[in-house]
Structure 1
């Protein structure tokens, strides 16, 4: 079974923006809830609300390791407020609850009804998980409200404890009752519900631990939920770590294939040129003007291991290695994540594009197709994974180590398996015993456990640019990294020196003192000329040890209040019993 297009009639059946708006019906309840085909069509509308197809590949547009052309208001002190806050929309919940309460037809078997109720409860769990991550306490509503239910419409928010309990109940029901196999990977199944449980439970356990929330359900309770769900999925589920014919392309194939690679992708979005349903990943990731020119930063690149399993920062000259050298003998994922020497587009060498894209030299390719044809519009048809088996392995490993229970077998089946897929030759079958001080001091100064540190390293490398980073930093209480991680780039040995980034015999870029006019710099045709400093409007500068640095002149901000978003001011106007999140009142 394939789900590519949503059905617009169903999507509009019960449309509302607020909890107190009545649905607008355009089909009878018997048409929708009285037949299996009606339930199937109605449930298809839920998929729209998980993530927009247009932004599924943009999840890390705001992350500590992502240098971009301009800062999100959320990261600028005083720029974000309740007056511009978004996300307090309940349309999707109302549509979901309609199915849950109205899927009662005696013409359908209990198995059929429970399957579709399970699908609805999966989506309700995902909906509420997003709301808790964004706002903390939120109102729990388990049925479509009418305008007469003023006690609920104007009630205070329910506690995080209650909402998380209901989320777990929904996911348990979904796992127990969903019967479909997920079709071509674009539909959820029981295993997707179990996978989401590991994601939610790990988030909540770590959030409660590191934020020191004193609630009835302890962090350890949630770690156990995540570990138990992960264990079941790993032992009895149909998924495994995908390895391509060329191991150097194993991870990249998951992001450039036209259909989800079902061996590892548990849930993804598919696209179709025939049905005029495409995405603009190439355009967003390669354009000088359309996307944010997102460039990964050097501290993150430094955290990617050597092929022999040793830290890259153990190399004696790592601080002065030029781009070509620093890319040699590294974890295969480096060359599947960014443009490295040997990467080609349209059959031509394609080094980092300083002429119109990258600021740091670390230019992402994870979601982009190699043919430049796709660069100038919404032409992409490659599938976008939303849940991978690799994530489940990482969730399981972290939960087990947070419980103090991760053993060598667990390590080998999770972190070891992912590193083996990435070509790493050592350490896959042995637990770490030494703290990597660079990793600790740069990213996780409060973590002294070498195993937990390596699990976190593996997570940030394996899931890079997949939309997890910001929430990971929030749950670990490491939001300060959003403000403090240096947006530095490649080593530049000297200004006005032609640099052949990929060693193909052709110079690619020359950096020069920005106080000089570009016309005074001599360089062959096709070589990018990049000004360093020279004025308040030039955010491309260089560190004292000759590494590129971007946007240093504009400070990024992180305060305690930013672990939660503010409730939109309009929501509080409509319901005076809502209390604003701490720190967001004027």
Structure 2
């Protein structure tokens, strides 16, 4: 949604919701104007979209994840650095805006089906709002009406997640049944299909959180939530015309979803769109190429190793994969690898460009998923590409995971979900039959407690297909795998120090790694990188090995599991004695 278009509208609505709920604003826009016409309801509903990720930040939602080495990691996973005094996110203004709309959308001058459509939109966003709160804090107060200054709910305690999530499911069902918009060619509006997609997403989170967090005592309710995932996904799969986009071929279709100016609406169900004419532009290039503005997010080798060979076999089944150099390890792989990071053959401004060790990459695995290939977009908020927020691919993965967890996934289901995604990625083997063999590398490094090869492969597929789209940390929390956030940050294999390396085999030397005295007499193209003592950049061995980053600054996942929730901000507890702090953060 183009936020600037609706800036003045949002200001008006903020005015409406910031005064007493019975007070009429002294302005040309009146309560009757808003709630007495279909156009007024539409105008108000645009304010809800401000809750969604925007072109300004939607491309960096996985900034905190297990597979990304960054300049400085979040204090949340730094020992002793995070507390209730530093916590944030306990904001309820969006909910008040939604509840005010629902309470006042009752004019009989408007057809009931129209009113129900807009109430459906509001309840979609209320479900989305509460989902984000449950993911962050766990139990939260359920509030479904606009509050007055003396309302007792202002000082309510936290309701249980079962109460809140049952209400969220009610909102989702209402949205699915009443949102009448079935197709939006711009890809920027919530349709009934987006409502089903959100239901699929939220129900999968709740099902798996209850399954793997057995301390909640809710495992007897798990099947219900997985079944809701399946039913919502099946409606989309059987009744909508969404499909997996393949129009740009195996080498480009996947990345095209993220670098097109207009959403690829055959697969992208909802996107945040840029508009150069209205000065609504993104910052993806700036973030992913700058050595100073962004986090210098660099993927790690353990994750890159999980991309399959093109024939569908594990990359780590290759003899000598541990010491395979960058060029060789990128050959004959899942074609999403070359559409996710810079690999040999990647071009910018028409010229071959290797990973940038001159002020960006720490590991050699530099993401390109959201970046435009012309460097003119690098120096500010200049990106014109739309940011997908809901994709049909996610729905297929939700469906596959839910059925696998229930033990009902068939070979046909596999073919129509994971198989479709792998086929787009050029993978030739294992797309028509469920896997029967566990990949021990993937299992041991990521999910040692999972022995089902189908669930393991669906998790692999989800991590690769949805990388950098904002799902990873939430997935790790719902699977109760937060300890992966402490995984060592490693990079490309360096066979020897003080040897110039041509990373992409184009005849130009790109980088040299050294200890001690800085090499001299290098070609301008060759970046010297110190891996000596006293630097954050290192090697796993003394004179050769994988690059490492930030070994001396360890990340922590507390054994008491407190980081599966953020603490309630202390400022909120100080104001409301009925709020109780999350365990471990007291």
From 464, 469, 472, give the equivalent of 1:466: 469
5+ long unaligned stretches in structure 2: none
Q: Distance in 1 between matches of 2:192 and 2:44?
A: 19
Which secondary structure does the structure 2 equivalent of 1:248 belong to? coil
Q: Distance in 1 between matches of 2:277 and 2:156?
A: 48
From 201, 205, 208, give the equivalent of 2:203: 201
Residues 528, 57 of structure 1: CA spacing in aligned structure 2 closer, same or farther, 3 A cutoff?
A: same
From 347, 356, 360, give the equivalent of 1:344: 347
Q: Residue 89 of structure 2 corresponds to which residue in structure 1?
A: 87
TM-score (norm. length: structure 2): 0.96
Q: How does 1:57-456 map to 2 (within 5 A)?
A: 57-150=59-152, 152-180=153-181, 181-212=183-214, 213-215=216-218, 218-456=221-459
Q: Distance in 2 between matches of 1:546 and 1:216?
A: 44
Q: Residue 533 of structure 1 corresponds to which residue in structure 2?
A: 532
Q: Distance in 2 between matches of 1:332 and 1:121?
A: 39
Q: Residue 569 of structure 1 corresponds to which residue in structure 2?
A: 570
Which secondary structure does the structure 2 equivalent of 1:274 belong to? helix
Q: Which moved more, 1:458-467 or 1:237-246?
A: 237-246
5+ long unaligned stretches in structure 1: none
Residues 521, 265 of structure 1: CA spacing in aligned structure 2 closer, same or farther, 3 A cutoff?
A: same
C-alpha RMSD of matched pairs (Å): 1.7
Q: Distance in 1 between matches of 2:477 and 2:305?
A: 22
For residue 253 of structure 1, report the CA deviation from its aligned partner.
Answer: 0.4
Which secondary structure does the structure 2 equivalent of 1:364 belong to? coil
- CA deviations on 1:198-257 (whole Å, 9 max, x unpaired) are 110110111011011213871111111101111111111120000023321011000000
Q: Residue 523 of structure 2 corresponds to which residue in structure 1?
A: 524
Contact 2:2–2:280, Cα closer than 8 Å, also in 1: no
Q: Residue 550 of structure 1 corresponds to which residue in structure 2?
A: 549
Contact 1:154–1:575, Cα closer than 8 Å, also in 2: yes
Contact 2:273–2:385, Cα closer than 8 Å, also in 1: yes
For residue 31 of structure 1, report the CA deviation from its aligned partner.
Answer: 1.1
Which secondary structure does the structure 1 equivalent of 2:14 belong to? coil
For residue 14 of structure 1, report the CA deviation from its aligned partner.
Answer: 4.5
For residue 451 of structure 1, report the CA deviation from its aligned partner.
Answer: 0.4
Q: Which moved more, 1:43-52 or 1:448-457?
A: 43-52
Q: Distance in 2 between matches of 1:179 and 1:191?
A: 10
For residue 570 of structure 1, report the CA deviation from its aligned partner.
Answer: 0.8
For residue 52 of structure 1, report the CA deviation from its aligned partner.
Answer: 3.9
Residues 123, 425 of structure 1: CA spacing in aligned structure 2 closer, same or farther, 3 A cutoff?
A: same
Contact 1:156–1:579, Cα closer than 8 Å, also in 2: yes
For residue 8 of structure 1, report the CA deviation from its aligned partner.
Answer: 2.1
The size of the alignment, in residue pairs, is 577
Contact 1:201–1:225, Cα closer than 8 Å, also in 2: yes
Q: Distance in 2 between matches of 1:106 and 1:23?
A: 20
Contact 2:286–2:377, Cα closer than 8 Å, also in 1: yes
Q: Distance in 1 between matches of 2:72 and 2:512?
A: 24
Contact 2:99–2:146, Cα closer than 8 Å, also in 1: yes
TM-score (norm. length: structure 1): 0.96
Residues 21, 401 of structure 1: CA spacing in aligned structure 2 closer, same or farther, 3 A cutoff?
A: farther
